[in-house]
Amino acid sequence: MRQGENKQNIRSQSEIDAQNAYAAQIRAENDRYEAETGVRRRAFVLTFGCQQNEADSETLAGMSRQMGYALTATPEDADLILVNTCAIREHAEKKALSIIGQYKHLKAKNPALLIGVCGCMVTQEHRRDEIKHRYPYVDFTFGTSSLFRLPELICTKLARGKRQFCPEEQKYLVAEGLPVHRESTYRAWVSVMYGCNNFCSYCIVPYVRGRERSRAPEAIVAEVRELIEKGYKDITLLGQNVNSYGKVLPETVDFADLLCEIDKIEGDYLLRFMTSHPKDASTKLIDVMASSRHIAHQFHLPMQSGSDEVLRVMNRRYDTKKYYGIVEYMREKMPDVTITSDIIVGFPGETEEDFEGTLEMLRRVKFDMLYSFIYSPRKGTPAAEMENQVPPEVKSARFDRLLALQNEIATEKNQPLVGKTLRVLCDGVSKNNEALYSGRTEGNKIAFFEGTPDDTGRYVTVQIDRADAFALYGKKHEKI
Ligand code: SAH
Ligand code: SF4
Ligand code: F3S
């Protein structure tokens, strides 16, 4: 890997310094408030959407702390509320808007409360206008390209009293060196690239996340190394299409090279990544995974549809043959690999035959797990304008058939794990079943077992004695 800073796509240090200066001003004001009242001001960050948004929210939390706010888990006692929104489906937008609606009464109770809305939804002009006109108690909005401007927005709002609607940046740049407050002490997200150039015809992401840009390999390797030194055990590299990593960098480095470099770091940890686009998933990447020391044998490879015609209109640029070829190669190199996927049901023009094609692919590939979605038209995308939209009742009937088939397949896939002893990274008491602890296997499957508080964040070995479509259940071994 060639050394050298990738200067073109990085936000300048002076811009970051300017934000640090704004943050210091707010911090001084928050310190003064605490000295006067004995109360530290608090910030609440609410996140919708994908892991990229989760990662961005950890930066929002980090910046909030830098500005002298303590973090709170409840909006009722917050002085600053940040809602990080998603635009992938209508449901995600509706949920965010409904929650923002509920904050009206908090603002009525506490007029000094600051409410900011950010992320993918408000990167769209029509949603920004909607917030402006229909949610007058929202103090500021900022899109995905302006995340780093949070301190400036708060400062300007406080100084001038006027609501702030931050315009999108003209250039998509990577902002390095922002403070991050991670939620977990053992699992971490690390963004390796931002944006997407693929323009799948149904998808809003390229419009709200901008063009692809990659972080410099040195910055990523240094961040991962630091995490491992701190004891992080499960690290997921993030990007909308990680296989495009490095394409826009001056260095000759691709995603497989980056993985090789990270894999050299010593330690007891697993490395994961998402998401891979089948059109770019290379045999080189799979070879690197198979021979690596730390890369989990787990692959998320969104298929979207099992019909070549639908894939063509989706602008996915692969067909089912190519997709199945990748799966076969992966299973040849890593027989134990867990494969998961995304499927969209009811894309415009999807016929019964097309949908049967998707079911057929499910039977052939046998995914360990599936994230399935009913197609949701997104304003501004080509598919939303297509005339042959599938009626809602057809979409939901197909969705139910897809889920029923996948449940059978996942149960069948999990059965061979019964009797096996697996290493599980424990996440603590299960949110769904408080009598049990839960964790994730190397294949990222959920395992339930009877644990103790000090298992949290540690590897435990679990002998699996039962499995269903969604999880594994077993007994923890006393000592590894
Ligand atoms: N970059 C990733 C996916 C990001 S979005 C990739 O290319 O695989 C996550 C998933 O949401 C997509 O894989 C797709 O299955 C789903 N999705 C995206 N747009 C959608 C829409 N308009 N309606 C329904 N599902 C959608
Ligand atoms: Fe959306 Fe396609 Fe980009 Fe994924 S690759 S984010 S589905 S446009
Ligand atoms: Fe949603 Fe934006 Fe992620 S639209 S899925 S939060 S990239």
Amino acid 8: pLDDT: 61
Compute the C-alpha angle 150/155/157, nearest 5°.
Answer: 95
Sheet harboring 298-300: ordered strands across? Answer: 298-300, 338-345, 369-374
Phi, psi (deg, nearest 5) at residue 270:
-120, 145
Nearby residues of 165 by Cβ (< 8 Å), 6 or more positions away: 128, 131, 132, 140, 141
Phi, psi (deg, nearest 5) at residue 217:
-55, -35
Q: How far is CA 425 from CA 187, 209, 453, 466, in A?
A: 9, 32, 13, 18
* Cα 363 to the center of its chain, rounded Å: 28
Q: How far apart are CA 252 and CA 428, in angstroms?
A: 42
Length of the chain measured in residues: 480
Helix, strand, coil distribution of the chain in percent, nearest 5: 40, 20, 40
Q: Write the residue with the smallest CA distance to atom 1 of ligand 2.
A: 203
Distance 349 CA to ligand 1 centre (A): 18
Q: Write the residue with the smallest CA distance to atom 5 of ligand 2.
A: 198
Q: What is the pLDDT of residues 222-250, one digit of tens each?
A: 999 999 999 999 999 999 999 999 987 87
Q: Which CATH superfamily is domain 187-415 in?
A: tm_1862 like domain (3.80.30.20)
The ranges of the chain with pLDDT < 50 are 1-7
Continuous segment of H or E residues that includes residue 309: helix 308-313
DSSP 8-state assignment for residue 336: T
Amino acid 338: pLDDT: 98
- What DSSP string describes 358-416? HHHHHHHH--SEEEEEE----TTSHHHH-S-PPPHHHHHHHHHHHHHHHHHHHHHHHGG
Q: Write the residue with the smallest CA distance to atom 1 of ligand 1.
A: 240
Q: How far apart are CA 231 and CA 184, in angstroms?
A: 11
Amino acid 1: pLDDT: 38
Compute the C-alpha angle 459/460/465, nearest 5°.
Answer: 140
Residue 386 region by backbone torsions, left for phi larger than 0, else alpha for psi between -120 and 50, else beta: beta
Amino acid 5: pLDDT: 45
Q: Write the residue with the smallest CA distance to atom 2 of ligand 2.
A: 200
Phi, psi (deg, nearest 5) at residue 274:
-165, 145
Q: Write the residue with the smallest CA distance to atom 7 of ligand 3.
A: 205
Which ligand lies nearest to the CA atom of residue 47 in the structure? 3
Q: What is the pLDDT of residues 102-151, one digit of tens each?
A: 999 999 999 999 999 999 999 999 999 999 999 999 999 999 999 999 99
Q: How far is CA 163 from CA 64, 97, 117, 153, in A?
A: 19, 18, 12, 9
* Assigned architecture for domain 418-479: Beta Barrel (2.40)
Which ligand lies nearest to the CA atom of residue 276 in the structure? 1
Amino acid 64: pLDDT: 98
Does ligand 2 lie within 6 Å of residue 314's CB atom?
no
Burial of 397 (0-12, 13-18, 19+ CB in 10 A): middle
Distance 343 CA to ligand 1 centre (A): 8
Distance 76 CA to ligand 3 centre (A): 26
Domains 13-165 and 187-415 share a fold: no
Does ligand 2 lie within 6 Å of residue 203's CB atom?
yes
Best mutation site among 45, 53, 275 for ligand 3 pocket (most ligand atoms within 8 Å of CB): 53
Residue ranges per structural domain of the chain: 13-165, 187-415, 418-479
* Assigned architecture for domain 13-165: 3-Layer(aba) Sandwich (3.40)
Which ligand lies nearest to the CA atom of residue 202 in the structure? 1
